[in-house]
Amino acid sequence: MKKQLKLIFFLLLLAGTFNACKKNSGAEAKPANTTGQFVFKLDGARIVIDSANAILYSTPMGRQMDVFAYKSGTQILEFHFDPKTGVKAAGTVLGAGAFLTYMESATQSYDSQSGVLTLTTCDTLGKKIEGDFNFVAKQYPYTGTAKTITEGHMLLTKISK
C-alpha cells in the first residue's frame, strides 16, 4: 500500500510539475508561481531557493497542499501537508503530519524520518504560506545514508488550485 501511495503521489507530482512550469526567457524552466523567500541549510551549508510554488487540492481525505522548491531550475524540495497552521511532525507516511523530501538528483531522494514543519501562516484565500522547517531524511530506498535539513524558512505568496 505504501508503494502504491508513493507511486500515486509521484505521478501527481510529475503531472503537477509539467503543468506548473513555463518556459523562462532563459534556458531553464521555472514554476509559474514563483514569489516569496525560501532558504535552508543542508548538512550545514546554506541554500537559497531560486523559485518555489504551492498547489492546493482536494482528496477523499480532505484538502492537501504540496510545495515544490527549485535551485538552478532543478527541483530539490517537495513538501506534502494539511493546509493548516501549527506544528506538523515530519515523518514517513503521506497524509500524516508532513511528508518532506530533499532531492539530490532526479533519481536520488531523501524522505523525512523525523523533524517538524511549523506553519505560522497558511492563508489559502489570501494565497500566503509562511513557516519554518527542519528534518532528517534518509535516502530512498531507506539505507543508512541521511541528510540533515536545518534552519529552513519559507514564505510563498501564491498558491495554485
What pTM, to 2 d.p., does this model score? 0.76
**Residue at 118: amino acid letter:** T
What pLDDT digit, counting tens, does each position of 61-76 carry?
889 999 999 999 999 9
DSSP string, 103-156: EEETTEEEEEEEEEEEEEEEETTTTEEEEEEEEEEEETTT-S-EEEEEEEEEEE
Phi then psi for 20, rounded to 5 degrees?
-85, -10
What is the CA angle 129-78-32, rounded to 5?
A: 65
Query: Is a pLDDT exceeding 60 seen at residue 34?
Result: no
CB-based contact 64:81 (threshold 8 Å): yes
The pLDDT of residue 28 is above 50: no
> What value does the mean pLDDT take over residues 21-40?
51
- Cα 23 to Cα 41: distance, rounded to the nearest angstrom: 28
The predicted-structure confidence for 123-143, as pLDDT tens digits, reads as follows 999 999 999 999 999 997 777
